[in-house]
Amino acid sequence: MKLLHRRIALAIFATLLLVSVIPAFAQSSGSSLTGRVVDESGAALPGVTITATNTATGFNRAAVTESDGSYRFPSLPIGTYVVTAELNGFSTVKTSNVQMQVATERNLPINMKQAAISQEITVTAEAPLVATTPAIGTVVSQQELEGLPLNGRQFANLATLAPGTTLSVNADPTKPGQLTIALNGGSGRNVNFVIDGGDNTDDTIGGALQNFNLEAVQEFKIQTMQYKAEYGRSSGGVLSVVTKTGTNDFQGSLYEFARRDNFYTSKTTTEIQTGASKQPYKRDQYGGSIGGPIIKDRAHFFATYEKTKRDTSYTVATGGVFPAFDGKSFPTPFQDELGTAKASVNLSPKQFLSVRYGYQKNAEKYGAVPLYLPSSLGTTNNKYRSILGNHTWQLGSNALNEFVYQWTKFNNAITADSNDPSLVFPSGSTAGQNGNTPQTTNQEKSQFKDDISWTSSLLGSHHELKTGVNYVHEPILGGTFTAGTSGIFTLLNDDFNSPVSEISIFGGNFSNTTPIDEYSVYLQDDWSATPRLTANVGMRYDLWTGFDLDQRTNPAYQDFAAAADSHKFDYLPWITPFANGKSAKGKNDKNNFAPRLGLTYDLSGTGRRLIRGGIGRYYDFPYTNATILFPAAAVQSNYGVIYNFVDATG
């Protein structure tokens, strides 16, 4: 009941926040265009009609300049635009080649001249030299995605173009062949992944959840420091991605990237050490895409599919424990399928809707190391599905609402290739059932996100405000782990005929479910204090529920509580909190207030020399694999050792 009251209170607080302020600008997946219109003397021109038109899709939006001559387009779909300024008595100004990039703000000032007759002036926009916000980040454009060499064609790997980033291996078995982006010395698990404005973070192990093929990605941005209050659940960085949509022209592609063993003449290290012959290698990555108009200038579609097949092998090297297997190679095939379909429609001059479906399925051998026999391998199977809808609604000349709904589902299973008893030797050589199989991971979640943005002039200065709420409901978050049920036999010597020093057999069912609810609310203000000084002020609050696990039935907790009550271990400071039945229930973290402050000062007034700085507090989502998975399993399951025998002499 208390949790329900807290949720109601938070909902009321969010509602009051939304209705107590003037209508805000979303740019988590889109792009923001701002500027100021002046006449020849530099005086502000209010009432100018500004129209931004996407040259590829015909998408257009209009705004009217305010009393200080300022205008703003929040959350424009990324692409190339023509920006037109019109006012009676002045020459019409058209600015072409205005490049709008993902999760990026762009400033476009416009100068208008008085004209007795109708005139039109066309200018070409130059790319901005430096960013005008305190956030530190790098945009990877479609040209770079298409032109830069990329081993394996995983688009996120190009995030290493940003300073402070490196590629890291994702050691978790649920992510075969997928590298992670590590920022500023982190592991890569503390990066928030946003695809088309929707959450794409793995809540079990952290890092990215679903992958999208390179053909599906239009561009992305990696933010490494000083990101605004609209971005949360990350202490490392934010990677924002926009997938492709169709244009007014029908376009498509077909491709095949092939590798064969005759391209490689050298042996692997294991093949050299064991004297094995060079093994065949075959890798194919092929696919295609198609996109175009459904209704010209109004509705478009884009779809792509890719499959990767890799035929490889590994060579066994047990050092003589299993001489019949040493030096022989065994297949380790890999397959990965990626599919994306997206449709977008301009519902009206003020409303835009896009819907995207994503799919991924892969399979790979697990545990293929030289010390393991083929019977000790497992098979990893992953399946991802996601549906996302994004609706933007221009509420007036200076306000916009953006709503995102997303449903995602992830199912993982790592099955054993053999149910024979597991034999473990001192050298690490292993035969029989893999010690980490079978296991499963399951996630299903729905996300509801709404942002509202607006501009305002308060106390003689310009303010660009934005507020929003985000709710993620994750009723399925857990998995199973039932390894060792066939028995684990530890041998005394590296010999198949060696005596056995220990026998362990596991039984029961290891399963856990830790449903999570995430609530977030934020408010931020980009305040133009002077024409050269901009302050970015924001506050964010996050509440994640589901970590208040009651562990009174956990055998480990019962032992600790009994030890604490006996007072025999009072010299151990970590035991005493368990006395008198305390610490039986975990607590949800309720004080995640995250203030943000950023400052940008234009030294010359031209946007070419900036001083940027800021300070902020950032909270990372406590992914469940490291926080609550095993305690939840101890409470909810009966898995454990059902037989154990130890004889040091064998």
Per-residue pLDDT tens over the stretch 179-219: 888 887 777 888 899 999 999 999 998 889 999 999 999 99
Confidence of residue 20 (pLDDT cuts 50, 70, 90): very low
- What's the CA angle centered on 641, arms 640 and 643, to 5 degrees? 150
pLDDT of residue 9: 41
Helix ranges, 166-210 (H): none
- Tokens 């990066």 correspond to 191
Residue type, 212: F
Report whether pLDDT(10) > 60.
Answer: no
264-278 pLDDT, tens per residue?
667 777 777 777 778
What's the token pair of residue 384? Answer: 């991802």
The secondary structure of 257-274, three-state, reads: EEEEHHHCCCCCHHHHHH
Quick one: average pLDDT of 411-433?
95
Which residues are paired to 454 by β-bridges? 399, 465
Angle at 25 between CA 21 and CA 26, to 5 degrees: 125
Exposed e or buried b per residue across 26-50, where buried means at least 16 C-beta atoms within 10 angstroms of its C-beta: bbbbbbbbbbbbbeeeeeebeebbb
Mean pLDDT of 426-449: 95
DSSP 607: S
Instruction: Tell me if residue 143 falls in helix, strand or coil.
Output: helix
Is the pLDDT score of 490 beyond 90?
Answer: yes
> Can you tell me the mean pLDDT for 359-375?
94
Q: Answer whether 518's CB lies under 8 Å from 621's CB.
A: yes
Lowest-confidence range among 81-85, 163-167, 406-410?
Answer: 163-167
Q: What is the DSSP letter of 484?
A: T
**Which of 89, 95, 88 lies closest to 114, judged by CA?**
89
User: Does residue 491 register a pLDDT over 60?
Assistant: yes
Query: What is d(CA 332, CA 312) in angstroms, rounded to the nearest whole number?
Result: 5
Q: Which two tokens stand for residue 125?
A: 């926009």
Question: Where does the pLDDT of residue 34 fall: very low under 50, low under 70, confident under 90, or very high at 90 and above?
Answer: confident
**Which range is most confident: 141-150, 153-162, 560-569?**
560-569
Amino acid at 160: T
Q: Would you state the torsion angle of the CA atoms of residues 261, 262, 264, 268, taken in this order, to the nearest 10 degrees?
A: 50
And the tokens for 247? 């244009």
From CA 108, how far away is CA 125, in angstroms rounded? 8
Could you give the residue ranges of the DSSP H alpha helices within 213-308? Answer: 269-274
C-alpha dihedral over 621, 626, 628, 631, to 10 degrees?
-170
Amino acid at 440: T
Backbone angles phi, psi at 498, to 5 degrees: -70, 150
Average of per-residue pLDDT across 151-160: 84
Q: Which of 164-168, 354-358, 523-527 has the lowest mean pLDDT?
A: 164-168
pLDDT value of residue 235? 84
Terminal Cα-to-Cα distance of the chain (whole angstroms): 57
What pLDDT, on the 0 to 100 scale, is given for residue 13? 39
Q: Has residue 171 got a pLDDT over 80?
A: no
pLDDT value at residue 131 = 60
Least confident residue range of 262-276, 390-404, 448-462:
262-276
The secondary structure of 69-93 as a DSSP string is SEEEEEEEPSEEEEEEEE-TTB-EE
Global pTM exceeds 0.85: yes
